[in-house]
C-alpha cells in the first residue's frame, strides 16, 4: 500500500515494550489519539504472550479506527492479519517482504533499513510502504546498534520517493531537525511513555 507523504500528521507512535495495565493504557492512548496528531500507531510488545497481544491489539485497533490512525503490528504478518491491522512493520531479521505480502496482501508493509545505504537501495526495489532508518539519537527504549546521521536521511530522500520514517531517541528537543531535512514521519516511543515530566498525552503536545 502506498502512503501519502504530504500528510500533516507526521508522528509514528510506537507502543511500550510491555503494557502492564491495559485499561489504563487504553484511556491514555485515547487521550493521545483524540488530538489527531498520530498518523501511525505500532503495537510492539516484546515481553507478552501471544494471547495477550491479540486481546490488547483488538482494543487498540478499535481506537485507531475511531480516530483515523493507521494500526501497524510489529514483526509478525500473521498477527497483523489476525487483528485486521492496517499493516505490518518488518525488521531485517523478520519475515521477508514478499512472504509478508502474500499474507497481508496490499496492506502497509514498512521495513527497517538501520543506517545502511546498501539496505536502503536493496529494500526500495520491493516498493515497501515506507523505509525506516536510524537510530538518529541516543535512545532509552532499546540498545542502539546502528547510528544514523542527517546525511543518510538526505541520501535516502535523494534516491527514492518512498516515505522515510526516522527512528531512534526522538524527542521535543531534536525532532525539528529531522523534519527540516524532509523526514516524512518520526517514530517516537520513549519520550511519550517514559517521560518523567509529562504524562503521555501531555508529552505528545510538545511535538508540533
180, 185, 186, 205: which is closest to 195 by C-alpha?
Answer: 205
Which pLDDT score, from 0 to 100, does residue 7 have? 62
Q: Which CATH class is domain 11-206?
A: alpha beta
**Residues in the chain with pLDDT < 50?**
none
Indicate the pTM of the whole model.
0.95
Amino acid at each position: 500500500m502506498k502512503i501519502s507523504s504530504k500528510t500533516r500528521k507526521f508522528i509514528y507512535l510506537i507502543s511500550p515494550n510491555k503494557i502492564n495495565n491495559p485499561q489504563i493504557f487504553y484511556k491514555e492512548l485515547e487521550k493521545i489519539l483524540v488530538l489527531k496528531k498520530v498518523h501511525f500507531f505500532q503495537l510492539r510488545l516484546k515481553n507478552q504472550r501471544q494471547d495477550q497481544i491479540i486481546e490488547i491489539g483488538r482494543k487498540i485497533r478499535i481506537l485507531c479506527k475511531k480516530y483515523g490512525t493507521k494500526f501497524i503490528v510489529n514483526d509478525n504478518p500473521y498477527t497483523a492479519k489476525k487483528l485486521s491491522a492496517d499493516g505490518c512493520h518488518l525488521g531485517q531479521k523478520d519475515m521477508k517482504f514478499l512472504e509478508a505480502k502474500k499474507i497481508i496482501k496490499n496492506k502497509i508493509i514498512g521495513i527497517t533499513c538501520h543506517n545502511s545505504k546498501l539496505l536502503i537501495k536493496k529494500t526500495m526495489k520491493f516498493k515497501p510502504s515506507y523505509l525506516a532508518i536510524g537510530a538518529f539519537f541516543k535512545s532509552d527504549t532499546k540498545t542502539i546498534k546502528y547510528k544514523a546521521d542527517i546525511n543518510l536521511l538526505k541520501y535516502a530522500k535523494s534516491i527514492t520517493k518512498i516515505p522515510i520514517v526516522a527512528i531512534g531517541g526522538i524527542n521535543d528537543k531534536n525532532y525539528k531537525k529531522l523534519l527540516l531535512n524532509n523526514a516524512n514521519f518520526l517514530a517516537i516511543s520513549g519520550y511519550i511513555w517514559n517521560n518523567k515530566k509529562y504524562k503521555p498525552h501531555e508529552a505528545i503536545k510538545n511535538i508540533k
